[in-house]
Structure 1
Amino acid sequence: MAGILLEGYYWQELFLSFSFTMGIAVIYLTVRNPDLFLDHKTELMTREAFRMIMRQLLEKNDFEGFGFVIRDYDECRMAYGGAFVDGFLGYFGKYLRQEFSKQYLFYMGGGRFFIISTLPMDLEAEVSKVHERFRKPWGRDGKIAYFDINCCILDDTLVFSSVDELKQCIGIAFETADSPKHEDVIIDKGCQERVKRQFHVRGLLEESLAGNSLEVFLQPLVEASSGRVEGAEALVRMKDKDGSIVGPAEFIDMASATGAVSILGEQVFAKVCEFIRDGGLEACGMKWVHVNVGQCSVCAVVWQNP
């Protein structure tokens, strides 16, 4: 529009051509930039491309797929060097492009690959084929390496409400497949229910922090020799919409991962201060309350009753 307006006022200049050129460059850099959608190590599509493509495929929900994870990928990088291990990623990508030329191929990072197909696939046979290839050595520049994998197979009967839900299910499956002594994993209804629960708890956490509605419970700490309650430890709990208690195991790590743990700690700290200010220590016959601040359990604040 700027080019058209300028061209109208200054018809002898090339404002319109310049504007079109700049527009095409901006569109390329922001939308078609291959660095955003193509991993340079594997030459497979990235997680950003996965999000874009799956947003379209979820509308029809007519796809299937599976993925695999290089077992102990981070440990291999530390043991043999990142450059040595990452050098084989290109060979993995080349193999996948040859074997699955009609499918969408993604490198999700961290030694994790996923294959999506809109065409019918014999998933059991394809998974077996990938396993068979990885039982053989990989050669690169005269060097031989073996890599162990586990696969994650997507149950094609599942219906996902969003790309985030699908990605979370795949992420949980990858974590499970990479755990010690684990075999291939099916991304099934149980996995989906776990993800839905996580989304629900995350929403509750956001609402609780925004409304400062987290509750603090005091766990008494007893002096062994006298049997008297000397103090207490502050424990944070969250209530669901039906009034049930959501345990810390479900939301503390989530708060840490999202960076909200500091806000959570501040709110708990403030509530304990209010409890002390309002005479709670005297009423309970206690001398102090421990409050864990942040993510570190050894970081405690002790309020002494004057």
Structure 2
Amino acid sequence: MWDYSFAIPSILILAILLINYFMLQRLPIRVNKNFVSLLLIETVVITSDIFSSWACENYQDLPKFVVVSSNMFYFIFFILRAYAFFVFTCSILELDPTENQFRTFLCRLPMIITEVVTLSSPFTKAVFFIGSTGYQRGSLYNIIVLNFAIYLFFSIHATVTFKSRLKAKRDFFGILFYLLILIVGLIFRIMFPRYLLMDTFCVMTIISINLLFMNPEYFIERRTRLFNSEGLRIILQDTTRQKYNTIFAFVIRHYQEAVEIYGAKQMDVGIRLIGSYLRRILPKEKLFYYRSGRFVIMTKSSVDVSSVIKKIEERFKSPWLSDNVELYLEARFVEVSPDYEMYDSDIVINTLVNALNKANNSTDKSHILVGRDMFDAIQNNTAIKRALEKAIENNKIEVFLQPIMDAQTNTLVGAESLCRIRDDKGEIISPNKFIPIAESNGRINQLGEQVFEKTCKFISENDMSALGLEWINVNLSAAQFMKKDLASDFSNLIEKYNLRPSDIHLEITEAVIVDDDITNNQIQSLRQKGFLFSLDDYGTGYSNISRLKHSPFSNVKIDMSLVWDYCDNPNLLLPMLIKAFKKTGYSLTAEGIETKEIEETMKSIGFDYLQGMYYSPPIPMDEFIKKYTKSS
């Protein structure tokens, strides 16, 4: 006799879980599909377990075919259930079975072998047979237990191996928790075969999974009841959402201004009204709210996107009305080309947000089409950010040196330190690309510190006089210049490498000296430590000589734009500027020397130092040593 007392409540619990699953809004992603498959398989297993147990008890009154086939049906799904738990675990770990077909086949092999052995039982009596005394276990019965144990081992191994893919530690321990329940259930099945306890433990596991991983509220935006930004990221990552292959989006124009005008509470109502409207006109499509008035819609290819956009545009021509709410809002639209499927989900989202921001700021009402060029630009920008982070974290910022020549003797007198980073292929990334990123994300300070220290190290390890170097210029960014402890940091590094502060000249641009008080205080602190200053790129900003008199620079570098303009159209402006600077006590450096003619012209009007590609592009430190030690 088998005890059904545990199995019947289990199937009722499963029924509740199934009803709950289909009542709530879910993303059409692999993990959800695998969970509902697990629910259905478990329902079939418990139902067939009860029926086959009843058939075995009444084998004398039933046709042998019914008894055999019911047991066969149960064992087939019992074996499949073990594999289903493993597949679900893989989906939590975001493992894609299509990435490695051979590995997937190897993972399925235990199930295939066990199913084949089980299906042969009517002929071989391998797993079970119906004899004169009823149901009997076969000689290979324990293969089904072994199959379950193998998939539990596979699940534990995958969890430990790929735990870095999980978003939080609780997910890792959550997986181990439900796998432990299955292990205990398997032990109980071996020890108490007459009780249908294994099904109860499997249901306990499914309940744990539902509580730990299947809460759809994680992906629902509370005001609109649409999917949120995390839901958008997950569905873009999932490769099983092929039927939703068209994306368009819109943004409420000047959303923050609208919040200020109408108030946060009224705008929340407005966002909710828009969400309700979208659910009404697009009930079968996937709708997302991506913060700050941005809505994203994923549709099937059969949907006429143009007509839907026109319909939404028409709706925005009327106010959004509710109790005590009347909002007049404007929307701007973005359409995404099918090329988005070629890119990583983060790239797609970043590109989409960038396009929506562009649409928001545009006075043109035409739709923005997001194509491959925009995706590539964002992808390249992301790659540069990663390269920058990697270089800073691993102290891999490279310092290149560009020579500064004495205009009178045409010999090397100084150099400028310029930072460089490399991409994954080892190729140099243009500073015009990574410097703005470093300034915007706050990494410019660490970048500048590495350049300064590596310049100090270069000076300490090499014979400056043998190279002909009197000093090396190091650039300071505006953010770096605002650091209160900058002077002490630099002074400590000078002492660490046993240098003189005058070995390094600090270059700052005109943009840095906007706030005279802060600038002068910082300059005075650094000058007290013995550092000298050079004003970089003069002529690109708004400084004048009278302002510079109060900023104690020792050298002014005239920007290449003024140099080239003078060579193209000679006039008195630049020569007079040079004379004025020299009377004030500054030495002068001409940037942008690219030809012999420019060199001769700049010498003739009185420059002290010359710098440019005519002499050398910025080169690595080791090349600089070889080139200029040899020449000396």
Check conservation: 1:66, 1:115, Cα contact below 8 A.
yes
- Determine if the alignment matches structure 1 residue 111 to structure 2 residue 276: no
Q: For residues 162 and 205 of structure 1, what CA distance do their matches in structure 2 show? A: 20
Check conservation: 1:61, 1:159, Cα contact below 8 A.
no
Aligned partner (choices 397, 405, 409) of residue 214 of structure 1: 397
- Return the TM-score normalized by structure 1: 0.77
Q: For residues 31 and 255 of structure 1, what CA distance do their matches in structure 2 show? A: 39
Q: What is the identity, as a one-letter code, of the residue corresponding to 2:397? A: L
- SS state at 2:310 partner: helix
Structure 1 residue 251: deviation in Å?
5.4
* Cα 1:288/1:54, change in 2 over 3 Å: closer
Match of 2:214 in 1: 32
Please, which runs of 5 or more residues in structure 2 have no aligned partner? Answer: 1-181, 405-413, 492-500, 503-529, 531-632
- SS state at 2:290 partner: strand
Structure 1 residue 263: deviation in Å?
4.5
Match of 1:97 in 2: 279
Structure 1 residue 239: deviation in Å?
3.8
Structure 1 residue 88: deviation in Å?
1.4
Choose 1 or 2 for highest CA Rg. 2
- Determine if the alignment matches structure 1 residue 64 to structure 2 residue 246: yes
Structure 1 residue 131: deviation in Å?
1.4
Check conservation: 2:445, 2:480, Cα contact below 8 A.
no
Match of 1:204 in 2: 387
Check conservation: 1:69, 1:111, Cα contact below 8 A.
yes
Greater percentage in strand: 1
- What CA deviation, in whole Å up to 9, does each residue of 1:37-76 have, x standing for no partner? 1111100011222223233357748611210011122233
- What CA deviation, in whole Å up to 9, does each residue of 1:166-207 have, x standing for no partner? 222212211211224354311112212212312332343244
Q: CA RMSD in A?
A: 3.9
* Cα 1:69/1:58, change in 2 over 3 Å: farther
Check conservation: 1:233, 1:291, Cα contact below 8 A.
no
Structure 1 residue 78: deviation in Å?
3.7
Check conservation: 1:64, 1:156, Cα contact below 8 A.
yes
Aligned partner (choices 467, 470, 484) of residue 285 of structure 1: 470
Match of 2:368 in 1: 185
Aligned partner (choices 427, 430, 436) of residue 246 of structure 1: 430
Aligned partner (choices 151, 155, 159) of residue 337 of structure 2: 155
Q: How does 1:6-25 map to 2 (within 5 A)?
A: 7=188, 23-25=205-207
- What CA deviation, in whole Å up to 9, does each residue of 1:126-170 have, x standing for no partner? 212211111211112222111111111112355423222322221
Q: Greater CA deviation, 167-176 or 22-31? A: 22-31
- Determine if the alignment matches structure 1 residue 41 to structure 2 residue 223: yes
- What CA deviation, in whole Å up to 9, does each residue of 1:245-269 have, x standing for no partner? 4224445426854x75565344334
Q: What is the identity, as a one-letter code, of the residue corresponding to 1:98? A: R
Check conservation: 2:250, 2:334, Cα contact below 8 A.
yes
* Cα 1:262/1:298, change in 2 over 3 Å: closer
Q: For residues 388 and 369 of structure 2, what CA distance do their matches in structure 1 show? A: 29
* Cα 1:22/1:182, change in 2 over 3 Å: farther
Q: For residues 357 and 236 of structure 2, what CA distance do their matches in structure 1 show? A: 21
Please, which runs of 5 or more residues in structure 1 have no aligned partner? Answer: 222-230
* Cα 1:38/1:243, change in 2 over 3 Å: closer
Higher relative contact order (CA 8 A, sep 6+): 1
Q: For residues 32 and 134 of structure 1, what CA distance do their matches in structure 2 show? A: 36
Aligned partner (choices 322, 347, 350) of residue 165 of structure 1: 347
Aligned residues: 296
